[in-house]
Amino acid sequence: MVPSSATPSPSKALVFARRLGSTLLLWGLVGATFASMRAWAYLGLIALLTLVSTLEIFRMAGKAGVSSCGRFGLILTALYCAVLHADLALGRTVLPGWELALVGLCLCGAFVIHLRVPVRGIDTLTGVMTTAGAFVYVAVLFNFTSKLLFFLPEWRLADSKVAMPAALLVLWLLAVTKFSDMGAYLTGSVIGRHKMIPHISPAKTWEGFAGGLAFSQLAGCGLYALFPQHFAVLGGWGHVVLLGFVLGVLAVIGDLAESVVKRALGAKDSGQMLPGIGGALDLIDSICFTAPVLYFYLLWVRPAIA
């Protein structure tokens, strides 16, 4: 008998240890960024995660045989981060509507690039949509985290520092989102029995989903109880509880959305940057869904029902 050459799957304990180590490392990096209170540190970290995550999508697409415009997409992503972050840090807008113009440029440019080669049925359209979709999915959605740092006019400080309420708001968003992920993983691992969406993510269970919602409430309410004066922008306990529930649900949906991307492209993880977690996209997938909703909730919903 010829021995199997397949690599055995790591045990749950080893996966948990790797995931815990990566999580502690990440929170250490976030803590160092938070402690610096420098706008360039916050925006630099967001830009780095944006670029690496976008690169991971194009790499997965390339391995799956999808002819996306990776270089063009990365250039536009870098341009988007540079202009947006300069706008936010300096407190001025370069041109009204420039973000929508870049989205249009991404779509039109992808079509123009594909004009150079013969149309290959649905593959050509898939390549165009992958380029535009990756740009919107990561660059546009994830950078609502950057916009939250400068949400209120008084948070734009002249000494290149981040206002404490702004830093705590982003920390609150990360805690609610990531505690939902962590709670779902821990609860599902221990008592998970009923599969949630096995055709998308076999490991997700309804017990894990409930645990994720409980952990997101724990993080959101706990931080608000500790620093109520710094979270005045959230509008009070009613908004905090509602946002904890909504963002907890969206964190799960964001994780499942990335699972759809990876399953469609035949990838297990988006990258190998973080042992036990995967790549940068595996790290920010939930935030791409929670950050925009928190931004627009504070902009539109909270003032209307306050």
pLDDT tens for each residue of 138-165? 999 999 999 999 999 999 887 889 999 9
Neighbouring C-alpha atoms within 13 Å toward the C-beta of 291? 24
- For 42, other C-beta atoms within 10 Å of its C-beta total 24
pLDDT at 276: 63
pLDDT value of residue 4: 45
pLDDT tens per residue across span 281-296: 998 999 999 999 999 9
| pLDDT higher than threshold 50 for residue 112 | yes
| Whole-number Å distance between alpha carbons of 168 and 170 | 5
User: What are the pLDDT digits (tens) for 162-211?
Assistant: 999 999 999 999 999 999 989 998 999 899 999 999 999 998 999 999 99
CB 174 within 8 A of CB 42: no
E strands, the chain, in order = 195-197, 201-205
